[in-house]
Amino acid sequence: MKKSFAIITAMTVFWAMAVQPSYAGSKLKNADAQAKNDEIRNTVIDVYPTIPFDEQDAKNKLAAGDVEIRGALYHRLSYNGTDKQGVLPSPEHPVTAVSNTNIVLYPLTKYLEQWYNLDQKFRKPGFMARFDRNKPRKHAAFDDAMMKYAISRKTDEYGRFSFESMLPGKYYLISSTQASGTYEVQVNAGNSTAVDGWGNVVAVSHTRPENRSFNHQIVYEKIIEVKDDKSVVEIDARMKINY
């Protein structure tokens, strides 16, 4: 019996001596691999449209016209920062005007349309792409000259905005801002026991108020079309959380 115990002990010591260096080495390899993956994930590759930006086309599309584009910028976030799904009214998700916020209009050139498609592809990847994290991120970039043909307006206290003297055609609208707030929730504060009216010992749960906060980037973006037979185009510009 003592001989068997000695053999088992010797084998255990041998296993520990043999395996421990390999275990330590695997931890280092894992750390190296994690560092490499993080470096790859933090790499951003700018991808530009494949066609050149046509400044003259953008300029022509912004020539003076007779159409007014009017809209109201708003969101449907609840008191705790969750976004309302769907369009039906809900007291938990009231319509909140987004005031004093810039909204930008671009003429929809072929260059911008190609950039928009790239931006949608890279910001909203397919289902399987969400699990492939070990690749550099791609970012839809554009020629700085495109910014020269952007028109910016600031919403009033009711969230309203207006672009006057526009031509019929297609335009890209975008606005981005932060929505933040604080709210109170009840959290568990422990348990105790008490005796009820029949003499039974019962468990009692206690709660206490706790403040929490949210801070979301909310975005509105849309391609709109102004028809030839319209003098005023009205838009309900709902902003949503940019996940």
Task: Specify whether 6 is located in the same domain as 94.
Answer: no
Backbone angles phi, psi at 207, to 5 degrees: -125, 165
For residue 237, give the nearest of 117, 119, 68, 97 by alpha carbon. Answer: 97
Which tokens hold the place of 190?
């422990």
Is 124 a member of any domain?
yes
CA 233 to chain centroid? 28
Q: Is the pLDDT of residue 161 over 60?
A: yes
Q: Tell me the C-alpha to C-alpha distance, in Å, between residue 148 and each of 124, 142, 181.
A: 27, 12, 35
Mean pLDDT of 196-208: 88
Q: Are residues 163 and 113 in the same domain?
A: yes
Do 74 and 116 lie in one domain? The reply is yes
We report the CATH number of the domain holding residue 164 as 2.60.40.10
In a domain, 142, yes or no: yes
| Domain extent for 8 | 1-42
Both 141 and 232 in one domain: the answer is: yes
Query: Do both 50 and 159 map to the same domain?
Result: yes
**pLDDT reported for residue 159:** 98
pLDDT (average), residues 182-196: 89
C-alpha span between 109 and 104 (Å, rounded): 15
pLDDT value, residue 90? 77
Residue 85 or 223, more confident: 223
- Residue 237 predicted with pLDDT over 90: yes
How many CB atoms are closer than 10 A to CB 106? Answer: 23
pLDDT at site 135:
79
Top-confidence residue, 52 or 137: 52
Verify that 105 and 139 share a domain, yes or no.
yes
Say yes or no: 38 and 117 in one domain: no
133 inside domain: yes
Task: Report the distance separating Cα 51 and Cα 53, nearest Å.
Answer: 7
Q: Which whole number is the average pLDDT over 70-91? A: 86
- Return mean pLDDT, the chain: 86
Angle (CA) 191-196-197 rounded to 5° is 165
**What's phi and psi for 28, nearest 5 deg?**
-65, -40
Q: Is 209 exposed, middle or buried (0-12, 13-18, 19+ CB in 10 A)?
A: exposed
Q: HEC string of 23-90? A: HHHHHHHHHHHHHHHHHHHCCEEEECCCCCCCHHHHHHHCCCCCEEEEEEEEECECCCCCECCCCCCC
Predicted model pTM: 0.76
**Residue 86 belongs to a domain:** yes
Average pLDDT over residues 62-77: 96
Residue in the structure block whose two tokens are 């055609």: 169
Across residues 32-39, what is the average pLDDT?
81
In this structure, the answer to whether residues 26 and 121 fall within a common structural domain is no
Between the alpha carbon of residue 232 and those of residues 7, 104, 136, 221, the distances in Å are 93, 18, 44, 20
Looking at the structure, do residues 53 and 128 belong to the same domain, yes or no?
A: yes
Over range 209-222, report the average pLDDT. 95
User: Of the segments 40-54, 111-125, 161-175, 202-216, which one has the largest average pLDDT value?
Assistant: 161-175
**H-helix segments, the chain:** 2-41, 55-61, 110-123
Q: Is the pLDDT of residue 199 over 90?
A: no
Same domain, 38 and 91: no
pLDDT exceeds 60 at position 164: yes
pLDDT score of 18 more than 60: no
In total, how many domains does the chain have? 2
Strand partners, 203: 193
Is 158 within the bounds of a domain?
A: yes
The verdict on 112 and 50 lying in the same domain is yes
Does residue 11 register a pLDDT over 80?
A: no
Residue 167 lies in a domain: yes
Give the mean model confidence (pLDDT) for residues 191-212: 89
User: Within this chain, do residues 16 and 123 fall inside the same structural domain, yes or no?
Assistant: no
pLDDT in tens, 105-148: 999 999 999 999 999 998 876 545 555 566 788 999 999 999 99
pLDDT of residue 157: 98
Residue 212 CB coordination number (10 Å)? 12
Q: Which of 18-32, 143-157, 192-206 has the lowest mean pLDDT?
A: 18-32
